[in-house]
Amino acid sequence: MDHPEEMLGGKTAEISQEGCDGRRRSFLGLLLGAGAAGVGALLSVPLFRFILHPLLTTTSSSSWKEIGTVEDLASITSPVKKLVKIEQRDGWRKIVSEKALYVSKDATGRLCVFSSVCPHLGCSIAWHDEKSNFVCPCHNGQFTADGKLLEGPPPRGMDQLEIKVEGDMLVVHYQNFRQLVPHKEVIA
């Protein structure tokens, strides 16, 4: 033990052994951290896709729906209620619903189609043969057979829908409109 070289050599070997273990430990810690981060990233991909899906997809656009043959509808004398199936996709939800609309004739005798949704608060408008007009049961809004406002709180007449003839079928472009505004505004 009197030899300083032996003491120095022993400590040097001991210090170099500890330095090597420390580097190994830090490398293993780094490897473990990187592996955990990689697994976490892989597991988070489906979560991010689930969260971002509604933002990346658009809502379903409105489409044209058949409501009957032109020949059958040409002979109507008063408004006729028709139902169309509307499919809406919004985010994860897919909703299929039936919407009522009325096929009528305007002052010139041309076919026209009206939404049965009241432009006041969205109640369902119904045709009354005895009164020869449309009546909204919520606030007694009344409309003529060609959709013009007669009386009541609605800010405008009934909302007319776009139509076209394909072959011998009358098809309608169903849309929803904003309520409580004086001019027709499409919202969906």
User: Do residues 165 and 64 lie in contact, with contact meaning Cβ atoms separated by under 8 Å?
Assistant: no
Give the mean model confidence (pLDDT) for residues 139-157. 91
User: Do residues 84 and 101 lie in contact, with contact meaning Cβ atoms separated by under 8 Å?
Assistant: yes
Cα–Cα distance measured from residue 79 to residue 128, given in angstroms and rounded to the nearest whole number: 9
Res. 3: pLDDT tops 60: no
50: its two tokens:
């689930």
Same domain, 90 and 114: yes
Higher pLDDT, 51 or 137: 137
- Is residue 30 included in any domain, yes or no? yes
Q: What is the mean pLDDT of the chain?
A: 83
Same domain, 74 and 100: yes
- Is residue 82 included in any domain, yes or no? yes
Q: For 64-86, how does the pLDDT look when each residue is reduced to its tens digit (9 = 90+)?
A: 888 988 888 888 889 999 999 98
Of the pLDDT bands very low, low, confident and very high (cuts 50, 70, 90), residue 163 is very high
What pLDDT score does 61 carry? 58
Same domain, 51 and 69: no
- Is residue 94 included in any domain, yes or no? yes
Same domain, 68 and 51: no
Same domain, 86 and 68: yes
What pLDDT score does 117 carry? 93
Res. 114: pLDDT tops 90: yes
Cα–Cα distance measured from residue 64 to residue 133, given in angstroms and rounded to the nearest whole number: 27
- Is residue 180 included in any domain, yes or no? no
**Which long-range contacts link 120-124 to residues 24+ away (Cβ below 8 Å)?**
120/152, 120/153, 120/154, 120/155, 120/179, 120/180, 121/179, 121/180, 122/179, 124/100
Same domain, 26 and 104: no
Q: For 19-63, how does the pLDDT look when each residue is reduced to its tens digit (9 = 90+)?
A: 566 787 888 889 999 999 999 999 998 888 888 776 666 555 567
Same domain, 86 and 5: no
Percent of the chain at pLDDT above 70? 82
Residue type, 162: E
What pLDDT score does 94 carry? 81
Same domain, 121 and 77: yes
This prediction has a pTM of: 0.65
The whole domain housing 45 covers 1-56
